[in-house]
Amino acid sequence: MQKITKDMSFIQAIQAHPKAAEVLAKYEMGCIGCMGAAGETIEQGAIAHGVEINELIKELNNLFKDS
């Protein structure tokens, strides 16, 4: 079962798993401190940064396997 979805905001993803910030940074999506972090979805950020959304979501959800 996925814990993080493409429709979540960046803040929601980080609240779901603190290491989500590390994964987002790996994809050069350091959106944590930007104004859009609370309202922009992960999918919107991925599109803006040219990141493949399904790959990103898969990696974010793999964090839960390591917990």
**Contact call for residues 8 and 39 (beta carbons, < 8 A):** no
Residue 53 predicted with pLDDT over 90: yes
Instruction: Tell me the C-alpha distance between 48 and 38, whole Å.
Output: 16
Helix and strand numbers, DSSP H then E, in the chain: 4, 0
**Residue 56: in which H helix or E strand, if any?**
helix 53-62
Domain that holds residue 39: 10-62
- Asked if residue 4 is part of any domain, the answer here is no
What per-residue confidence (pLDDT) applies to 36?
Answer: 63
CATH of residue 56's domain is 1.10.3910.10
- Asked if residue 3 is part of any domain, the answer here is no
- Asked if residue 44 is part of any domain, the answer here is yes
pLDDT in tens, 12-34: 998 999 899 999 999 988 665 66
- Asked if residue 2 is part of any domain, the answer here is no
Instruction: Tell me the C-alpha distance between 43 and 5, whole Å.
Output: 9
Instruction: Tell me the C-alpha distance between 58 and 64, whole Å.
Output: 11
- Asked if residue 58 is part of any domain, the answer here is yes
- Asked if residue 57 is part of any domain, the answer here is yes
The whole-model pTM stands at 0.86
When pLDDT is cut at 50, 70 and 90, the band that residue 2 belongs to is low
**Domain total for the chain?**
1
